[in-house]
């Protein structure tokens, strides 16, 4: 299963502490400015378990419900219908997980999304490609399930937690999801600029000789840890966690290992 990293690189503990404080202050400012988005009939969906645990520990979400989306939709196969039986089966296979384990980690935490009606859903997702493909998947699901409430996006860069809040209009996201994540094609529908860039990067990463594979190939002498440190630093807009990068490193090693 994918390892979700809210802060992908935890080398500087002091820096990490400062980021935690800045995130807390930023969320408190949002609450003061837009308190109705932290009410009882609001669901906040957070990108990943680590972000969820942090928000839970700090009690940042007011009266609202909140849940993590523990996926890495930018890797492995997907199905047209989001969160149905076939989707769960295909995604579990892609992550080398049993259906039961996948459901426990990904589907069960989203129970409120499936079971309750909300006047508003707030999606907290970073600007990198990893987060944006997760966001696209959830927007597609909201359209497929005929959600009628308001949808807000709280987007941010992971290196500086400055939240940009916009209201999103549902309409074409299920089509875009199918074009991009199912059929691996560019979309000609209008999307936010950050998502547009993320789609280009997603399609680039599907290539055998993508920018990351080229970098790994040129730096074969480095240890896995050294490679990971450099990859996190050089490619922040991809947003991969260690799991995804290690898969690519191992793939490159297999390619370059001489056959006996």
Find the CATH number of the domain harbouring 184.
3.40.50
- Residue 260, pLDDT score: 55
If you ran DSSP here, which 8-state letter would residue 2 be given?
P
- Residue 57, pLDDT score: 84
Asked whether the predicted pLDDT for residue 25 surpasses 90, the reply is: no
- Asked, for residue 196, whether it belongs to a domain, the answer is no
Q: CA-to-CA distance for 179 and 189, rounded, in angstroms?
A: 10
- Residue 15, pLDDT score: 45
- Residue 35, pLDDT score: 78
- Asked, for residue 112, whether it belongs to a domain, the answer is yes
Beta strands (DSSP E) in the chain are 42-46, 65-68, 120-126, 150-157, 160-168
Residue 87: half-sphere exposure toward Cβ, Cα within 13 Å: 16
Mean pLDDT over 185-201 rounds to 94
Q: CA-to-CA distance for 71 and 21, rounded, in angstroms?
A: 26
Higher pLDDT, 30 or 208: 208
Pairing of strands 160-168, 120-126: unpaired
CA 90 to chain centre: 18
Q: 226 and 179 in one domain?
A: no
Q: CA-to-CA distance for 16 and 8, rounded, in angstroms?
A: 10
Q: CA-to-CA distance for 36 and 13, rounded, in angstroms?
A: 34
- Asked, for residue 128, whether it belongs to a domain, the answer is yes
Q: Domain of 185? A: 13-189
The reply to whether the predicted model has a pTM over 0.85 is: yes
Asked whether the predicted pLDDT for residue 11 surpasses 80, the reply is: no
Q: 155 and 220 in one domain?
A: no
Number of compact structural domains in the chain: 2
Picking from 189, 215, 241, the residue at the C-terminal end of a domain is 189
- Asked, for residue 106, whether it belongs to a domain, the answer is yes
- Residue 12, pLDDT score: 41
Query: Residue 246 — very low, low, confident or very high, per pLDDT cuts 50/70/90?
Result: very high
């Amino acid at each position: 299963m994918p390892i979700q990293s809210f802060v992908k690189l935890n080398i500087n503990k002091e820096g990490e502490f400062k980021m935690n404080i800045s995130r807390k202050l930023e969320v408190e400012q949002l609450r003061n400015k837009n308190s109705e988005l932290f009410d009882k009939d609001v669901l906040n969906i957070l990108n990943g378990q680590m972000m969820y645990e942090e928000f839970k520990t700090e009690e940042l979400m007011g009266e609202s419900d909140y849940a993590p989306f523990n996926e890495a939709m930018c890797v492995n196969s997907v199905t047209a219908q989001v969160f149905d039986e076939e989707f769960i089966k295909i995604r579990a296979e892609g992550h080398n997980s049993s259906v039961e384990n996948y459901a426990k980690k990904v589907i069960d935490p989203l129970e409120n999304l499936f079971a309750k009606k909300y006047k508003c859903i707030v999606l907290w997702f970073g600007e990198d490609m990893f987060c944006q493909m997760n966001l696209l998947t959830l927007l597609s699901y909201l359209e497929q399930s005929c959600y009628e409430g308001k949808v807000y996006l709280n987007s941010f860069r992971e290196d500086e937690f400055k939240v940009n809040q916009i209201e999103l209009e549902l309409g074409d996201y299920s089509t875009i999801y199918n074009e991009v994540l199912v059929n691996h094609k560019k979309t000609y529908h209008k999307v936010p600029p950050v998502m547009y860039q993320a789609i280009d990067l997603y399609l680039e990463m599907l290539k055998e000789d993508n920018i990351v594979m080229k970098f790994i190939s040129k730096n074969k002498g480095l240890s896995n840890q050294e490679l990971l440190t450099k990859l996190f630093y050089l490619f922040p807009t991809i947003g991969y966690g260690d799991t995804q990068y290690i898969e690519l490193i191992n793939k490159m090693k297999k390619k370059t290992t001489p056959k006996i």
